[in-house]
Structure 1
Amino acid sequence: MTVIKSILLLQILILSLLQNVKEVHTSCPFHDLFAGNAAASTQTTTPPRGDFCNLGPTTCEDTNYRSIDGSCNNLANPLLGMANYKFSRLLPAKYSDGIHQPTGSLAGGPLPNARSISLSLFGERDVPDPDFSLMNMQWGQIVAGDFSRVSNGSTSNRFVRCCSHDFRYLERNPEICFNLDIPPEDRFNLQYGNECMDFIRTLTDEGTNCNYNGGPVEQLNAVTSYMDLSILYGNTMSAISSVRTFQRGRLNVEERNGYQWLMKNPMPTVFCNIDDENGICYAGGDIRVNSSPGVTILTTMLLREHNRLAGELEKLNPHWTDELLFQEARKILTAQYQHINYYELMPIFLGRENMLRNKLIYDVAEDCHVNDYDPNVDATTLNEFTTAAFRHFHSQCEGRLDLISELRNVDASVRLRDWFNKPEIIEFGDNFDSLSRGMGSQPQQLTDNNIDVEIKHFLFPRGKPFGLDLRAIDTHRGRDHGLASYNDLREYCGIKRANNWEDFLDLINPYSVEGLKAFYKSPEDVDLNVGAALEDFVPGTLAGPTNLCILIEQFYRTRVGDRFFYENDNPKTGFTKEQLREIRKASAARIMCDNGNQIQTMQPRAFISVSKTNPIVPCEALPTLDLSKWIDRTQT
């Protein structure tokens, strides 16, 4: 990249982001902002629902703990960010019929085949990242799942199919099905006679119990929009009831060989890629818990961490009830998770200086609160974020998983395709720890325009020699959701709108612009998922200006629009100064050390590759929370 282009990228970033910078108190100690804007009466009533989903409470109690479904986080608007609630958008939808049909070309007709674009514009080279570990990608996948899960068709996509497991067409309702056709140049799939990849449209307010009053439809998010570990705890009362023991604050586990595991799924042959009803298949707060070994391992670690916290709190406060132990353990774990996300993970993706400039993080003393909650900020997950910008990081996925010993030797490797929805691998021998050490030691794939073959040709193969293409599905999903175009989002983010193909050269290399020109009829047609992924990165980040703009906007809303965000000092929902200092000791490495089977060593910054400045150290050397700060003095 030339110096001139680097300067241009920085100028574009600053101009686009300064539009949205809000004034926030940054000194410590802070004034009591709750008296001015966030304080609410003990009970408030929701305004007329309008186009809100016909779900959830009509009144809210100002409680100490967040609800399980996200309702009443915002006391004045109880349904904001709630599970089974609509996504939000930065720009209006661009359905081809203005209502619900997938996006098409402005000149008429469909957009170019998403699989063709994947094959032509996105490579398959194996390029290990020299700086960041596979744990960086894997933890990011947990965060992505915590923000969003779409429901497909009229029910789960496990019970509705539009294209068979053999990639053959099935007769299905076109209102539900939006199959991805196999193009004539796809030699990989054509060798098997494949016709299509299964794609079921996302549920919208039009066909559900949401109050749909006409106009463009909006997709529903099956999980809460908040960073609340709903991937562990669930999003409904039935889900949380199934994962809790209701004894001593613990979550349900099955114990085998002296270790805690997620509970057995009652329908293993449905939710896992196994034929044995007695085979290993887990149940958790989220149905995706078995999707890949990394997701299953991290969810298991988070489960164990909750129970570890509940156990320590019980020792310190033996008079606490089951409910109080559960809620406090959940609150502490969620705070650790939020801290790791904002201060350890996101600076890698977004750049620490960008985050400071845009008030996503603060450089304050360890015991200093940040009172930036704003009830006027809607934390609802943005469609552009979850369907496009955050999916940009799928390029980091690694299709080979190394099993690594405590001495950091590679003992073996497995292919990802063989273990999708087949979690039994993590209970074989020392695999739980070996795969965990692998996540910390093995490099992720470089964030670029290459997609690992395991997720480009072999995603969820179900015993076949072929599978889905995640890159193509991402593009196709954006059209299903009627996302505004790449050019529209460029303009929204303060970047010059392209009037011709040459105008894209300010952010995209000539080779890729020629590729776009070969597929699309006009610059106005370029998918957000495609164009933004091809941009040169803003220095110090892993994204181009358009994706970075969307990411920063989402993560700003996520913290500022969350009444329970861990850095706030609301006496009902927050932490004391002493407790906050302990929360800020949290790290992904400590989570792995405390909740592996027998992990003894880890580098302090688990998302960053092992090096002289980030060496492998004994787990005892890593900071740990002092839970004595949670001793309940009111009973002494």
Structure 2
Amino acid sequence: MKKRSAAHSMRAFNSPSKRTQQLSQTLDEENKEMERIAKLVTGEDKDFLRELRELDIFARADEDPVCSMSIDCSESDNRNIYDGTEYRTYTGMCNNLENFSWGMAGIQHLRLLDNAYDNGRWNARADSVTGTNRNPVALPTSRSVSNAVHTTSETKADNDVGVSLALFYFMQFIDHDIVKTPEGTVRDTIDCCGSDTRAFCMPIVIEESDNDDHFETGYCMDARRSFTVLDCDDDSGFQNQINDITAYIDASMIYGSSEDEADTLRSNVGGYLKTSTADFMPEAADPDDLPCDVDDPSFCFEAGDTRANVHPGLTTYHTIFVREHNRIAKYLGAINDDWSDERIFQETRKIVAAEIQHVTFSEMLPAVLDTDTVSAYGLYDTYSYNSTQDASIIQAFSLAYRYHNMMPATLHMTEADGSSYINTGSHNQEDAFESPSFLFEHNYKGVDQISLGFAFNSCPYANRLMNDAARNLLFLDDNGDSFDLATLNIERGREWGTPAYTEYRSLCGVGDVTDWDDLQSTHTDDVIAALQSVYDDPRDIDLWTGVVTETTVGTSISGPTQSCLVAKQFANLKYGDRFWYESTVFSADQLTEIKKVTLSRILCDNLDISKMPEEIFKTSSTWVDCSSFDAMDLSQWGTSKK
């Protein structure tokens, strides 16, 4: 357990970028002025203040500055051009030359359906379809859904189709490359779990009917609402959430989503990224703002994404790809002695992003989705850039891609034992959160042991249940306070005004739902019974709960609606990316080398290990010598090859 409070940990995990902080601070000043005026006018008239809150005056959003921006992408100053070669901008701006903001950091969520806010503007979705305007019926509390649908009395069994933990952690790694929805700012003087709630507060109070063995009646999870801005094309006051990072698969979790963030991470010598002792990421300058154990600040790393420290499995991938960057930069500098630091850095950044794109589509997605879905959405079709395809993050995808039901109960440390491998150390998952220091264990070999551990061990089943480490003990602190991740996911969908699961099911062509029997094509009888025990109507089912309770398709880890939303987003990320690795950004010979890359080879090149599975996302795969994996021939990037 950590001395930092659970609430502080959650704030650090969802912390906004500097850009969003500036917007949020402006709104906060305006909200404080409204409070001051209200007090002067009413003399602390509580009824009037309540009416103001109901009108959302204390939670009002400002105009989105991007809506009024005018950027000419034909001007070189708005693009990242060096020595006649164009590279991605750090922010994603002008990836699409006709729509400069598509996929850019700070852009609003895309919505496939109209918002389901209770007032059409910002009030969280709260009412069942069984009620009326005159006699509304409340949705079940998010914790009651968690208790009825997602609880398990014992540790979940490992899946029996050989899906390794390497997949689960890599999926989180990719998630942090493409989406981050920041929280709104709440002043330190405001207690969201007290009576004085304002603006972005979202306290989740355990009601008597939700009482269980972990959270007592009256317990409050100090959650916050996401930051919002006014929709660009809607004058009704509709507020929308934003993506704080670039949507593209561009390795922004390594390099950041702004030039300032990249500059902080660069050494400015030889194209290298900064590192610390034993080739780990650099030490964080301000660890208090990061999701890591503040009891030992030297173990908090600086990375392109602020969430890099939240779990050792995630930190391991960050470490490996920082090392991969520097490994490639060293080689490119050696064979191109006329290249500047900037040229080496930009070329290396382009290669690393291409490696991640290739691994995502050639290794990750085949495990996440079934072959029919992959085919239906053209994920493996020959690449052809489509300037009308918006790569920005779809809000429903951000919820559907939360495969938290596959989070294990244990962090495994694994070592070679002759010709086999054994788990030499196991730690409760709740003790692993915010503890990047696990990578330093055994004289800095912890990163190797964690990597072997997630390749050697299996994920839990992809079903509706969640282990206690995530469902009851997330960010557990010394006071015994913690969060329920299932509850948070459900509540997040409601406060975003996300329509119910059944609407997305219909949109995806899975089938309309009017009664409980209509779920039988996608849900087992026991799951339907669990849902029916807490929801009044199937059309009330929250999106996240709906998709993770679907029966998975084939050997994939996704149900049909979940598959649809995930595939739709990744298709946009591929065909809506002008710099996709299969475009003309590489020569034919260079592209051939990139397509040799496997995640196992990347781990072999950057860890002190001798073997890896041929297919790292399958525990049934044969372990082979690292020398067995094809390696990129980086000589193809020599000046003479240009």
Calculate the TM-score normalised by the size of structure 2: 0.83
User: For residues 276 and 535 of structure 1, do their structure 2 counterparts lie closer, same or farther at Cα, with a shift above 3 Å needed?
Assistant: closer
Note if 1:458 corresponds to 2:469: no
TM-fit CA distance, 1:171: 4.3
> Greater shift after overlay, 114-123 or 87-96?
114-123
Note if 1:74 corresponds to 2:96: yes
Tell me, yes or no, if the aligned pair for 2:255 and 2:304 is still in contact at 8 Å. Answer: yes
Residue 118 of structure 1 aligns with which residue? 146
Residue 415 of structure 2 aligns with which residue? 405
Residue 206 of structure 1 aligns with which residue? 230
1:314-357 CA distances to partner (integer Å, 9 max, x unpaired)? 11111111111001101111001000000101011112343134
Note if 1:590 corresponds to 2:601: yes
User: For residues 601 and 335 of structure 1, do their structure 2 counterparts lie closer, same or farther at Cα, with a shift above 3 Å needed?
Assistant: same
Tell me, yes or no, if the aligned pair for 1:351 and 1:541 is still in contact at 8 Å. Answer: yes
AA of the residue aligned to 2:213: F
* Residue number among 606, 609, 618 corresponding to 2:616 in the alignment: 606
Residue 281 of structure 1 aligns with which residue? 300
1:365-406 CA distances to partner (integer Å, 9 max, x unpaired)? xxxxx341100000111000012x111x21111120111112
1:70-127 CA distances to partner (integer Å, 9 max, x unpaired)? 1100001101111111010111111001101111223224321111111111132421
TM-fit CA distance, 1:519: 1.9
TM-fit CA distance, 1:523: 2.5
Residue 39 of structure 1 aligns with which residue? none
Note if 1:180 corresponds to 2:191: no
Note if 1:562 corresponds to 2:577: yes
Note if 1:414 corresponds to 2:427: yes
**Other structure's SS at 2:426 match:** strand
AA of the residue aligned to 1:423: P
Distance 1:595 1:621 in 2: 15
**Other structure's SS at 1:282 match:** coil
Residue 15 of structure 1 aligns with which residue? none
TM-fit CA distance, 1:52: 4.1
Tell me, yes or no, if the aligned pair for 2:430 and 2:475 is still in contact at 8 Å. Answer: yes
TM-fit CA distance, 1:536: 1.8
* Residue number among 541, 544, 558 corresponding to 2:556 in the alignment: 541
Note if 1:629 corresponds to 2:636: yes
Tell me, yes or no, if the aligned pair for 1:138 and 1:295 is still in contact at 8 Å. Answer: yes
Residue 48 of structure 2 aligns with which residue? none
Distance 2:234 2:609 in 1: 52
Tell me, yes or no, if the aligned pair for 1:146 and 1:229 is still in contact at 8 Å. Answer: yes
Tell me, yes or no, if the aligned pair for 1:313 and 1:627 is still in contact at 8 Å. Answer: yes
Distance 1:602 1:86 in 2: 40
AA of the residue aligned to 1:189: H
* Residue number among 321, 332, 343 corresponding to 1:313 in the alignment: 332
TM-fit CA distance, 1:514: 2.7
**Other structure's SS at 1:617 match:** strand
TM-fit CA distance, 1:560: 0.5
Residue 86 of structure 1 aligns with which residue? 108
AA of the residue aligned to 1:406: A
* Residue number among 170, 184, 207 corresponding to 2:194 in the alignment: 170
AA of the residue aligned to 1:337: I
> Greater shift after overlay, 104-113 or 309-318?
104-113
After the TM superposition, which residues 28-47 of structure 1 pair with which residues of structure 2 at under 5 Å, given as runs?
none
Distance 1:587 1:599 in 2: 16
Note if 1:380 corresponds to 2:392: yes
1:456-501 CA distances to partner (integer Å, 9 max, x unpaired)? 1111113343521111111111111111111211111123321222
Note if 1:390 corresponds to 2:401: yes
User: For residues 56 and 318 of structure 1, do their structure 2 counterparts lie closer, same or farther at Cα, with a shift above 3 Å needed?
Assistant: farther
TM-fit CA distance, 1:153: 1.6
Distance 1:172 1:137 in 2: 39
**Other structure's SS at 1:559 match:** helix
AA of the residue aligned to 1:345: M
* Residue number among 494, 497, 519 corresponding to 2:512 in the alignment: 497
After the TM superposition, which residues 124-143 of structure 1 pair with which residues of structure 2 at under 5 Å, given as runs?
124=152, 125-130=155-160, 131-143=162-174
AA of the residue aligned to 2:148: S
Identity score, percent: 28
User: For residues 503 and 142 of structure 1, do their structure 2 counterparts lie closer, same or farther at Cα, with a shift above 3 Å needed?
Assistant: same
TM-fit CA distance, 1:440: 0.7
TM-fit CA distance, 1:173: 3.6
User: For residues 502 and 277 of structure 1, do their structure 2 counterparts lie closer, same or farther at Cα, with a shift above 3 Å needed?
Assistant: closer
Distance 1:516 1:137 in 2: 26
Note if 1:578 corresponds to 2:589: yes
Distance 1:307 1:54 in 2: 39
Residue 365 of structure 1 aligns with which residue? none
Tell me, yes or no, if the aligned pair for 2:267 and 2:273 is still in contact at 8 Å. Answer: yes
**Other structure's SS at 1:294 match:** helix
User: For residues 56 and 306 of structure 1, do their structure 2 counterparts lie closer, same or farther at Cα, with a shift above 3 Å needed?
Assistant: farther
After the TM superposition, which residues 263-342 of structure 1 pair with which residues of structure 2 at under 5 Å, given as runs?
263-276=282-295, 279-342=298-361
**Other structure's SS at 2:240 match:** coil
After the TM superposition, which residues 222-301 of structure 1 pair with which residues of structure 2 at under 5 Å, given as runs?
222-254=244-276, 256=277, 259-276=278-295, 279-301=298-320
Tell me, yes or no, if the aligned pair for 1:52 and 1:211 is still in contact at 8 Å. Answer: no
Distance 1:278 1:215 in 2: 43
TM-fit CA distance, 1:565: 0.6
TM-fit CA distance, 1:263: 1.2
**Other structure's SS at 1:553 match:** helix
Residue 31 of structure 1 aligns with which residue? none
> Greater shift after overlay, 489-498 or 516-525?
516-525
Note if 1:189 corresponds to 2:214: yes
**Other structure's SS at 2:425 match:** strand
**Other structure's SS at 1:414 match:** strand
AA of the residue aligned to 2:310: S
Distance 1:205 1:212 in 2: 11
When the two structures are aligned, how many residues end up with a matched partner? 557
Distance 1:325 1:318 in 2: 10
Note the aligned Cα RMSD (angstroms): 2.3
AA of the residue aligned to 2:281: L
TM-fit CA distance, 1:53: 3.9
Distance 2:438 2:68 in 1: 42
Identify unmatched segments of 5+ residues in structure 1.
1-48, 164-168, 363-369
> Greater shift after overlay, 193-202 or 141-150?
193-202
Residue 23 of structure 1 aligns with which residue? none
**Other structure's SS at 1:219 match:** strand
Calculate the TM-score normalised by the size of structure 1: 0.83
